[in-house]
Amino acid sequence: ESHIEGDLVNILFTEEQIQSRLGELAAEIEAEYEGKDILLVGVLRGAVMVMADLARHFSRHLEMDWMAVSSYGSGTKSSGVVRILKDLDTDISGRHVIIVEDIIDTGLTLSWLVSNLTSRAPASVEICTLLRKPEALQMSVDVKWVGYDIPNEFVVGYGLDYAERYRNLRSIGTLAPHVYS
């Protein structure tokens, strides 16, 4: 079995670039939410790395909770079907919620999630995503914080998987064609 890094043909973002961008986003969010309690809601499983690192760039208190939803099968295409696999443990009514995602692809997952969370009467709901693919968007989603806009290519690493693999890469890149065959 080949080394995991060897399956990448092109590295889009290094560990250093990702961390530096997350630091900037955390600083912007801190400034925006001065005097307000923040609840970060991470979307399992892809957002685990973003959540862990974004949260540690904050110098203030915040809370974290998790939801598990799924819109992809095990392959590379969105199915459009969103399922709740694990709901929040937190009552978010009156809370300032920031959804944390690794990537917005078609936008189907997040547009569904935003309306689901909005129906629970939070004080506010915003989105912070590390990556977004503007060319792949099928639903308009109002995203307040975006790390990077990327081309419509399938990317893995730093939480992003191909058939559940590659999440543990520290960088983000595209897969070599031999991996798919």
Active-site annotation, residues: 105
The answer to whether residue 71 forms part of the interface with ligand PRP (CB under 6 A) is yes
Q: Of 167, 16, 162, give the one whose Cα is nearest residue 77.
A: 162
Three-state DSSP class for residue 4:
helix
The answer to whether residue 126 forms part of the interface with ligand PRP (CB under 6 A) is no
Q: How far is the CB of 11 from ligand PRP (least distance, A)?
A: 19
d(Cα 32, Cα 114) in Å, to the nearest integer? 19
Q: How far is the CB of 98 from Mg ion (least distance, A)?
A: 21
The answer to whether residue 109 forms part of the interface with ligand PRP (CB under 6 A) is yes
The answer to whether residue 29 forms part of the interface with ligand PRP (CB under 6 A) is no
Query: With CB cut-offs between 5 and 8 Å by kind, which of Mg ion, ligand PRP, Mn ion, none does residue 104 bind?
Result: ligand PRP
Three-state DSSP class for residue 14:
coil
Give the pair of three-digit tokens for residue 22.
């997350």
d(Cα 60, Cα 110) in Å, to the nearest integer? 26
Of 43, 100, 117, 169, which one interacts with ligand PRP (CB under 6 A)? 43
Query: Interface mask (CB under 5 A) for Mg ion, residues 54-93, using x and -?
Result: ------------------x---------------------
Q: Strand (E) positions, 45-171?
A: 63-72, 78-86, 96-104, 124-132, 145-149, 155-156
